[in-house]
């Protein structure tokens, strides 16, 4: 009913709006007396200290949350982090032992590929921490420990609030590891946590500007394809933006690392092709920012219609943006939490304009319980 959907036409639109709350709920209670606390202390501080390698295994959007987290966890902990599609993991011969931490990320906790990856990791004696949105689901039951995301039930098949909550939870895992290993001082951990706690307000700010994105969505709804480009943490955001568009609008969409453009994908650019570019901060990542500005000018010169997600006040990129979508300035590692939101809205609006059911895209199930 309309009431269940909070007055929205679709659950997904309600869930997009619930993201600030989902983030706040996921973070709540995880910083007490100056320390990061993970939900269940079945992985002790000693165990966390002994970790010498991290794997994140997941599918779809949850996998993208792992790709985002790799940047933060490696930076904070100096541990190598591999992010792997759960469906590939056990079919090669991953190098695991008791000092490997495997983080299995799953909204439903019932995804068969991820469950099998968990089983494989445990057989190899690795420690498995589930990051899950569903209480008591199979993946947390079969893991050594669990960190619940508290995004609340997600009904729309396309993941939105659970994805943002997964990023936040993965970051908590990174901070817990940094704290246990001493690669960050307690005051630095406290500062990182405080920055995370400021994110619900930043996401709320993005939500107040979605009308512009909706309007853009309607105007590009009859495109044949859309490309998404990003670098650093903006790269997984580009992948997520493309996945949303495929799922909901049945449109050909690809995400690329912008640095790869000249290694092939630039051949795809043609007149009128919408290309969404996720910009890094001009101050926080000045070098990458200027490389992306030159990418955008190149593709614009070849006729692309450039849609640029940039930090507020980013004047350098403005001349190259056919459409400019501004998001608040936040620390670089946290940028995916704001820059993903317009891409969710864009995909939903394009799908609506094309007349599709945003909550129930064709051929898809909310949780994929067969391999």
Q: Could you list the residues that contact ligand AGP (CB under 6 A)?
A: 59-62, 106-108, 111, 114, 157-159, 247, 367-368
Cβ-based neighbours of 285, under 8 Å, separated by 6 or more: 232, 332
Q: How far is the CB of 108 from ligand AGP (least distance, A)?
A: 3
Residue (16 or 310) nearer to ligand AGP, CB: 16
Residue with the closest Cβ to ligand AGP? Answer: 60
> 334 — phi, psi (to 5°)?
-95, -5
* Rounded Cα gap, residues 195 and 189, in angstroms: 10
Contact between 127 and 100 under an 8 Å Cβ cutoff? The reply is yes
Residue (142 or 197) nearer to ligand AGP, CB: 142
> What does each C-alpha distance from 89 to 56, 62, 104, 118, 139 come to in angstroms?
10, 15, 11, 10, 16
Residue (61 or 306) nearer to ligand AGP, CB: 61
Q: How far is the CB of 341 from ligand AGP (least distance, A)?
A: 14
Options 5, 205, 291, 366, the catalytic residue: 366
Residue (159 or 281) nearer to ligand AGP, CB: 159
> 311 — phi, psi (to 5°)?
-65, 145
Q: How far is the CB of 192 from ligand AGP (least distance, A)?
A: 25
Reply yes or no on whether 366 is catalytic: yes
Which three-class secondary structure state does DSSP give residue 6? Answer: coil
Kind plus residue range of the DSSP H or E element containing 133? none
Residue (166 or 295) nearer to ligand AGP, CB: 166
Q: How far is the CB of 153 from ligand AGP (least distance, A)?
A: 12
DSSP string across 69-111: HHHHHHHHH---EEEEEHHHHTTS-----TTEEEEEEESSS--
Burial class (CB in 10 A: 0-12, 13-18, 19+), 116: middle
* Rounded Cα gap, residues 162 and 166, in angstroms: 6
Contact between 123 and 94 under an 8 Å Cβ cutoff? The reply is no
Q: How far is the CB of 329 from ligand AGP (least distance, A)?
A: 27
Residue (192 or 247) nearer to ligand AGP, CB: 247
Q: How far is the CB of 128 from ligand AGP (least distance, A)?
A: 14
Contact between 347 and 248 under an 8 Å Cβ cutoff? The reply is yes
Just list the catalytic residues. Answer: 366
């Amino acid at each position: 009913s309309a009431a269940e959907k909070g007055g929205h036409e679709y659950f997904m639109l309600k869930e997009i709006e619930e993201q600030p709350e989902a983030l706040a709920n996921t973070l709540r209670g995880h910083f007490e007396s100056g320390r990061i606390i993970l939900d269940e202390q079945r992985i002790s501080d000693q165990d966390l200290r002994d970790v010498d390698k991290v794997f994140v295994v997941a599918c779809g959007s949850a996998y993208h949350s792992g790709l985002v987290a790799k940047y933060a966890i490696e930076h904070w902990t100096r541990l190598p982090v591999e992010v792997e599609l759960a469906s590939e993991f056990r079919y090669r011969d991953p190098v695991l032992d008791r000092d490997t931490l495997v983080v299995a990320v799953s909204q439903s906790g019932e995804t068969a590929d991820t469950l099998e990856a968990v089983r494989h990791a445990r057989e190899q004696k690795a420690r498995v921490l589930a990051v899950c949105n569903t209480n008591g689901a199979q993946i947390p039951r079969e893991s050594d420990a669990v960190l619940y995301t508290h995004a609340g039930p997600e009904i729309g098949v396309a993941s939105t609030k659970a994805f943002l909550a997964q990023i936040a939870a993965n970051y908590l895992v990174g901070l817990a590891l940094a704290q246990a290993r001493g690669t960050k001082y307690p005051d630095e951990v406290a500062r990182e946590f405080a920055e995370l706690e400021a994110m619900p307000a930043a996401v709320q700010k993005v939500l107040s500007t979605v009308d512009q994105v909706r309007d853009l969505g309607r105007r590009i709804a009859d495109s044949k394809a859309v490309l998404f480009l990003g670098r650093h943490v903006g790269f997984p955001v580009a992948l997520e933006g493309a996945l949303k568009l495929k799922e909901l609008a049945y449109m050909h969409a690809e995400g690329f690392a912008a640095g790869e453009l000249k290694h092939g994908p630039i051949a795809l650019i043609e007149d009128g092709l919408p290309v969404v570019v996720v910009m890094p901060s001009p101050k926080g990542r000045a070098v990458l920012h200027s490389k992306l500005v030159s990418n955008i000018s190149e593709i614009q010169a070849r006729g692309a219609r450039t849609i640029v997600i940039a930090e507020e006040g980013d004047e350098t990129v403005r001349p190259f943006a056919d459409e400019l979508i501004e998001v608040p300035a936040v620390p670089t590692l946290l940028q995916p939490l704001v820059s993903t939101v317009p891409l969710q809205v864009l995909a939903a609006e394009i799908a609506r304009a094309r007349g599709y059911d945003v909550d129930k895209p064709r051929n898809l199930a909310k949780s994929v319980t067969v391999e």
